[in-house]
Amino acid sequence: MSISIQPADRMAGLPEQFFAALVGKANARAATGRDVINLGQGNPDLPTPSHIVDKLKEAAENPLYHKYPPFRGFPFLKEAVAKRYKEDYGVDLDPATEVAILFGGKTGLVEISQCLLNPGDVCLVPDPGYPDYWSGVALAGARMSQMPLLAKNGFLPDYEAIPAEDLARAKLMFLNYPNNPTSAVATPEFYADTVRFAEKNGVVVASDFAYGAIGFDGRRPVSFLETPGAKEVGVEFYTLSKTYNMAGWRVGFALGNRKIVELLNLIQDHYYCSLFGGIQEAAALALSGPQRAVADLVSVYERRRNALYDALASHGWHAPKPDGSFFCWLPVPEGYDSASFANLLLEEADIVVAPGIGFGTHGEGYVRLGLLAPEERLREAAGRIGRLGLFR
């Protein structure tokens, strides 16, 4: 006779895993034999550069890496990411105290809420925003206060609009630029305002810089840590997933404020024993070796962006081109909400897009497309949408 399994209360408070449901819907459609073009995910479609893969093959034979790695990772990997930040952004980081190695950026984005928030505390989250911010807040038993990202503000939050009662209890704030899902980029002036806001209100800034390498039209995205005073008020989360097409390798970092870095290291001491050493060595090569592959990757995404938007415009679907990330944030046609339009595209055109409502209330009215298919497939997707006659 089996016992009754009663999950902890915190499990009931978790938000639905939005992307898992999206993948399931796409896979079910493809399983019927349909030619599905999946533009709804954020999973890079191109392989990791070969020199990084070759380094992993070589490093896997090192017996040192067959043992448990140091709990907080090998110093050479921390030194490599500090060197990359110095070269790319002019930011000085102490590898020993201002760098934490993460099992992918997502892990740290969930953990920081558990490190800093108590039940009843408030976390300021962008709306629309990456749903896993919500997961960490829920696990901490804290409460979210949404910061609307509106087109009229360049999809940047308006700090003056935050309710006073929420601001009084706020301890943590998430920012994400280049932005998922809106593809907006932040300015140095915005980050300077952010540092002043954080200092005045005692709010820790968690800057999600996952798409930091991907900027278009010759413009490089700005790191929060470039801002004077940034390390005094927050940390930045960086990942190799998008920069080097290493999503499956699960290599990320928290960088900046040493007290927060130590808290993240401490919580991970209880969860993990760091990454496989061979992966750490290959990741260090990715960061410290030739960066031509990164520039080439950005060029691929820019060509895809231009191909998709030109094709969509030829069918009457117009929107500003993204300035960064590999996402496109497009308004739905009149007569539809984001979910009904996404369902229509799947059922009538075999195209998967992410409905904006999945990213928050203010995502309604938009769908997110990923530039994660070859140019010819993106043009094919635009043609299928055009044949529906929705934008005439």
Question: What's the angle, vertex CA 255, arms to CA 252 and CA 256, rounded to 5?
Answer: 170
**Taking a C-beta distance cutoff of 8 angstroms, is the pair 15, 135 a contact?**
yes
| Pairwise CA distance, residues 338 & 54, whole Å | 43
Phi, psi (rounded to 5 degrees) for 237: -100, 125
Q: How far is the C-alpha of 146 from the C-alpha of 85, rounded, in Å?
A: 30
Report residue 20's pLDDT band, with 50, 70 and 90 as the boundaries. Answer: confident
Domains of the chain: residue spans and CATH: 9-48+293-387 (3.90.1150.10), 67-288 (3.40.640.10)
Please tell me whether the peptide bond between 63 and the residue prior to it is cis, using omega within 30 degrees of 0.
no
* pLDDT over 80 (residue 16): no
Query: Which residues make Cβ contacts (< 8 Å) with residue 160, sequence separation at least 6?
Result: none
Q: Give the separation between CA 27 and CA 254, rounded to whole angstroms.
A: 33
- What average pLDDT does the segment 44-52 reach? 97
Query: ω into residue 44 within 30 of 0, thus cis?
Result: no
Residue 41: pLDDT band by 50, 70, 90 thresholds? Answer: confident
Q: How far apart are CA 244 and CA 250, in angstroms?
A: 12
The H or E element containing residue 100 is: strand 99-102
Residue 111 identity = E
**How confident is the model at residue 18, as a pLDDT?**
67
One-letter amino acid at 133 equals Y
Helices 277-288 & 50-59 angle (0-180, nearest 10):
150
pLDDT of residue 392: 73
Q: Tens of pLDDT along 108-162?
A: 999 999 999 999 999 999 999 999 999 999 999 999 999 999 999 999 999 999 9
Q: What is the pLDDT of residues 260-301, one digit of tens each?
A: 999 999 999 999 989 999 999 999 999 999 999 999 999 999
Would you say 247 and 102 are in contact if contact means Cβ atoms under 8 Å apart? no
Q: What is the mean pLDDT of residues 197-215?
A: 98
pLDDT at 14: 82
Cis previous bond, 128, omega within 30: yes
| pLDDT recorded at residue 108 | 97
* pLDDT at 30 exceeding the cut of 90: no
What pLDDT score does 361 carry? Answer: 96
CA distances from 10 to 5, 119, 141 (A): 14, 11, 8
Instruction: Tell me if residue 127 falls in helix, strand or coil.
Output: strand
Residues 6+ apart with CB under 8 A from 218: none
Cis? peptide before 126, omega within 30° of 0: no
Residue 13 pLDDT: 83
**pLDDT, the chain, mean:** 95
